[in-house]
A and B are shown apart, each in its own frame.
Chain A
Amino acid sequence: MIVRLRVFGVISTRLGGAKADVELPEGAVLRDLLDAIDARWGATLAPDFWEPGTKRFKGSVLLVSEGMDLMDESSPLADEQQVMVLMPVSGG
């Protein structure tokens, strides 16, 4: 199955663009996606935005899909699911 990443702001420069598709096995969960991100981009995201040890994003980077934050690593993912990767900042 394919998970479609939509990447915002500075993170997109590390992932080489605002969009990226990640191929995962059927029945994949959030942890599988994080492992795939680690394998493909872990080195370019670290050390500022990626924790290589835990294979998780660092700081206030969020994964959001269908209006929900993806927090639980056992959350199931669906084919064609869009996952937004962003680092919101308060300002003004």
Chain B
Amino acid sequence: MLPYPNRTRSFLLSGLLLLLLLPPVSSFFGDAYLVSMFSRLLIYALAAASLDLIIGYGGMVSLGHAAFFGIGAYVVGILAWHSYASVPLLTWPLTLEGSESVLIVFPAAVLVSALFAAIIGFFSLRTRGMHFIMITLAFAQMLFFFFVSLEGYGGEDGLSLYARNQLSGVDLGDDTQFYYFCLGFLLLFLYLSQRLVNSRFGQVIQGIRENERRMLALGFPTFRYKLACFVIAGAGAGLAGALIANQSEYVSPGLMHWTRSGEILVMVLLGGLGTLFGPVLGAVVLLLMEEILASFTQYPMVLMGPFLILVVLFARGGLYELLIGRRKPGE
């Protein structure tokens, strides 16, 4: 068998090749739906990879990650709504107009979700373990009900977009171009995350996951590192949210429901904690299975449930480890 780094490299290269070739291949077979569906998979893969930063590397099990996903999506929805209605979002202390431009909307989505992550993280990171799970869940549900009650922006029904955001030189309304747009963001996020987990900051985060008490004794003010990690992950989820709003041209509170957080968590566990690429695989496999099973059963969970349990019980490293094997120390 190939040594671990080579196995990883060949897995990543073949995965990348498959994803790059998907649009031409599916258009050859005349199946346009596949491209649109895979855009959705890539977006969830991005959300799952961002969650892996806090769970897999930071050891902070959050059950409220979809909150930031939803916030990112609502930034797109709300800015678009104001742009259609030509009503400024804010008139005081400064005037903020709506927008449909990628260059304004996407940075805004990332910043606003990072801000929410900073606030939620500031309070919830004072707790650990089960308490942390519950408090992140509670914050996310609070946001869910807040948007349900926000009648001005569609309440429970959400908001529809007339079109995707605009970027000069690119037609995001075209499903193939939009697919590559999503793939670009996913690859960028994975690359940045890969740098991050191997940097000094990444080592600190993993040290905290392993033994926070020792980190404090060594002289690390752990809270601020955990918060920074939580904010980065929240920003990543916000970016995914901005993409999903564009993909489906629709935003609703359902995007931040706790079941969505659970689903993203399952993608991470299924793919493999603390592997970054595993959660991408997890997202693709989970959503593909849902898609396929839904075509011949009304209750896909009846078949998916046992599959998930088997993977979690017998392949603790997730599908990623199943596929490329375990890393031996020193490899």
> Are chains A and B native binding partners rather than an unrelated pairing?
no
